[in-house]
Amino acid sequence: MRIKMLVAFFLVVAAHGCAATAPTVQRAKPVPASGRPSAVMEVLEHSGPNRSELESFLDAYADQPEKLAAARFLATNLPPADRVSLSAEMLKENLDYAFLARESFPWARRLPWDIFLQYVLPHRLSQEPAESVRAELFKELAPKVAGKDERFALETVNAWLVGQMGFRTTERWDLGPKELMRRGFGRCEEAVILFAAAARAVGLPVREAVAPAWQHVDDNHAWAEVWSDGAWIPVDPGRHGLSHTGNAARAPFVLALAYGSVNRTDEAVYRRLPGITLLNVTPAYAPVFEARVQVVDQAGRPVPNATVFAGVYNYGSFKPVARILTDDQGHGRAVLGAGTFLLSCRRGNDAAFDFISWLPNSVETKTSSWLTLSNATRLSGTFVLSVPDSGQAESVEPLGRSQEIRLEENRLEQVRKERFEGFRRLNKAYAEQAGVNATMVEALDSARGNAPEMLRTLQAAPAGDVASYYLDMDEKDRVAASSRNVLESLALSRAARANASGLGVVYDNATYQAFVAKDRLLYEPFSLWRSALAKPVREMFASGLRQGLNRTARRIAGLGQGPPFIFGPNPRPQDLLALGSAFKKSDRCMLGAALLRAAGIPADCRDAWGFINYYDGKTWLPMFWDAPDLLGRANATARSRAFFGAPAGVLVRFFRDGENVSEQMRYFRDFSLSRFNNAGYFQALEKTIDAQYLPDERALLLSVPEGPYWLMAGTRKDGGVRVGIYPVEAKNGLTAGPVDVYLADW
């Protein structure tokens, strides 16, 4: 159920513990002032060529004060990707049908104005691509709930969801509602996305709740909250019924997301960020305590504005779930759920670590910490961490569902299964007729309801070219891509390869497929970005390869720096060009790789290493997005030296009850190598590590970039986890270790 990047962004930009806000609830219907408010103007001025679409949307309600107020609210909080891409037609459809639902159903008419604005009106829930779907969902669901009560409507929406998608762990970026219906399954957050789109379509207010990481098991979870009778009801959408996971009572921290700025006095605001408010709703689910910290330097002086992260052991590392910001006296506090937390803080080369723990009815508690920043601080040893046991997680029964609803759920689930089985039969029939191999049949099956688009493309273009393109695609992109997208992208990438050949950059077909024709860059929504980049690329490379590379490096370095956003999808390459700004480092990496691929230059976004890896026709070299003068210099930074030089290695042996069990250990599931990053929390290596078992050594060899790491491995039992932490130093061309890890059963 991994909730991908959203959790990480919470931690990068979220602030200290919860505190209720002072403003009162806005319940009166607002009367708009003349002219455009400054907040709306700010969005318009940063919407690039899409400004006219946003203005058209706002102007459509000039003589309808209530709708104009809603349109302004929606526009003011648009994330960057939406500002430069959403059409006036899509925004108007969303707003008009939101008001239609408000007028059509008694539960929607009763809603306070602010609840309607923040939890019914919005066109999105999280980081999914925005789609024009509200009218379609209203037309399908409104007749089913008309004349019924609110509970029946909620149960009907949930039964409909069961008929649309099941649960399956998938890639970490989100699909939109239409894409999820096409695929028929998704992660927990994706179930919430589709559930929210359907519920909001019939006037039911919905928001997302997130447990960034569990501590009693690995992974995390997201579920929905529905506003009913003045309170938020947790709902785990789908076959769980109208309930939430009982494990929420064991959550170390739970956040809820609201579109725009929350002004209700009963909401504990964790952080206000552009377009979104994060709310600490942990007390609604779990027993809580107030964690208190004081951060001082080596001389004992308070450290103001220090960031302290509270992390829990999860997937072989300590995942930060909340952060605490100190005041002028170095003090900070946060409301957390029960359990054991690793506190970590960093200022330059100085760091501090400590554990705090609190469980209900336990006398062994430590709820405050004195953190002294020091460059001599090292975290190592074996630690036994207490976590809430299963007895503290109440069994949560689904809210009452009628026999009619239960039968409808079963019927709709069967219809869904039969529909996708029909696509499988279609793919098999095509394969038998066209002589397609088994690998391509698997790719067709993974496209699910989008398989007909794949079949259409295979018939319209050279089979080898299209087949290679599809086989190299991520599964979610097969679900999202249209035949037009694929054919146009292939034509542009073939032309780019020919142009690159004229610049002296020649490469084989495998390199072309992986690093030129591939449209997926990082975690952005699938899109046809090559056509938007064609003109700037022609201009940059008009004078030759070297000039083009230099201009590309300066183009991405010259982007403005916008505020960090956690709401909305990652901007696509064309969005970044239109915005003229980046919002995180990976944005520059992604745009640089896209510009090079659009020019036919093989490139890969190595965001974890700090550069774009490109091929100049002779060798692979780095392009640094923040240092264009270092273009092509493989030895310019420690990370580039590590990447292009002899690899560093760490040899690890695992033992349990005296027996070597190294061959059974799986990286990330059972253990990890983590960096202690500049922000001040541990970050497990994912993209920059290769783990292989050496039979002769009976050990695992971990190939990693040069640098200091912490090897972490834990053994769980109900009520706790025993974690071993081992500092290691990896150096280029050398293998550290062996590090012997003893996994005691306890």
Give the whole-angstrom CA distance, residue 714 versus residue 316. 7
For the stretch 303-357, pLDDT in tens is 999 999 999 999 999 999 999 999 999 999 999 999 999 999 999 999 999 999 9
The pLDDT, as a whole number, for residue 435 is 82
pLDDT at 432 over 80: yes
DSSP 8-state code for residue 390 = G
In the three-class reduction of DSSP (H, G, I as helix; E, B as strand; rest coil), residue 432 is classed as helix
Give 249's DSSP letter. G
* pLDDT range class, residue 184, cuts 50, 70, 90: very high
Whether pLDDT at 18 is above 60 = no
Is the pLDDT at 461 greater than 80, yes or no? no
Q: Other CB atoms closer than 10 Å to residue 491's CB: what's the count?
A: 14
pLDDT at 539 over 90: yes
Distances (CA, A) of 504 to 109, 518, 645, 686: 66, 21, 26, 34
Query: What is the average pLDDT score of the chain?
Result: 90
Say which amino acid occupies 372: T
pLDDT value, residue 508? 96
The residues, ordered by sequence, that sit 6+ positions from 604 with a Cβ below 8 Å of its Cβ are 515, 593, 612, 613, 614
Say what the pLDDT of residue 12 is. 42
Residue 745 — pLDDT band, cuts 50, 70, 90? Answer: low
Residue 58 and residue 67 in contact, taking contact as beta carbons nearer than 8 Å: no
Percent of the chain with pLDDT over 90: 76
Asked whether the predicted pLDDT for residue 69 surpasses 80, the reply is yes
Alpha carbon of residue 230 to chain centroid: 30
| DSSP 8-state class, residue 392 | G
Positive or negative, the Cα torsion across 77, 79, 82, 84?
positive
311, 10 contact by CB (below 8 A): no
User: Is 91 within 8 Å of 192 (Cβ atoms)?
Assistant: no
HEC readout, 251-270:
CCCCEEEEECCCCCCCCEEE
Cβ atoms < 10 Å from Cβ of 406 = 14
Tell me what pLDDT residue 564 has: 82
Contact 236, 223 (CB under 8 A): yes
81: nearest Cα among 584, 585, 570: 570
- What is the percentage of the chain residues whose pLDDT exceeds 70? 92
List, for residues 78-103, the tens digit of each pLDDT value.
999 999 999 999 999 999 999 999 99
Q: How confident is the model at residue 17 (pLDDT cuts 50, 70, 90)?
A: very low
pLDDT on residue 398 = 52
d(CA 328, CA 303): 7
Mean of pLDDT values over 633-642: 88
Given this model, what pLDDT does residue 20 score? 34
pLDDT tens for each residue of 484-528: 999 999 999 999 999 999 999 999 999 999 999 999 999 999 998
Per-residue model confidence (pLDDT) at position 50? 96
CA distances (Å), origin 402, targets 157, 202, 225, 239: 14, 20, 21, 14
The beta strands (E) that lie in 659-744 are given as 659-660, 671-676, 682-684, 690-694, 699-704, 707-717, 720-730, 735-742
pTM: 0.92
pLDDT in tens, 204-239: 999 999 999 999 989 899 999 999 999 999 999 987
When mean pLDDT is compared across 129-143, 388-402, 726-740, the lowest value belongs to 388-402
C-alpha pair distances (Å), 271 with each of 120, 262, 597: 21, 10, 38
What is the reported pLDDT for 467? 87
pLDDT (tens digit per residue) in 584-611: 889 999 999 999 999 999 999 998 888 9
8 A C-beta contact, residue 450 and residue 481: yes
Q: Who contacts 201 (Cβ-Cβ below 8 Å, separation ≥6)? A: 97, 101, 133, 134, 137, 138, 141, 142
Q: Is the pLDDT of residue 556 over 70?
A: yes
Contact 349, 676 (CB under 8 A): no
Q: Is the pLDDT of residue 33 over 60?
A: no
Residue 399 pLDDT exceeds 80: no
CA distance 633 to 679: 27
pLDDT at residue number 252: 96
Helix (H) or strand (E) holding 560: strand 560-561
Q: Is 229 left (phi over 0), alpha (psi -120 to 50) or beta?
A: left
Q: In this predicted model, what pLDDT tens digit does every residue of 645-702 receive, in sequence order?
A: 888 999 999 999 889 999 999 998 899 999 999 999 999 998 888 899 999 999 999 9
Q: What is the pLDDT of residues 135-181, one digit of tens each?
A: 999 999 999 999 999 999 999 999 999 999 999 888 888 999 999 99
Q: Find the mean pLDDT for residues 618-632.
A: 95
β-pairing, 648-656 with 620-623? unpaired
Strands 331-337 and 288-296: antiparallel
- The three-point CA angle 61-66-72 to 5° equals 65
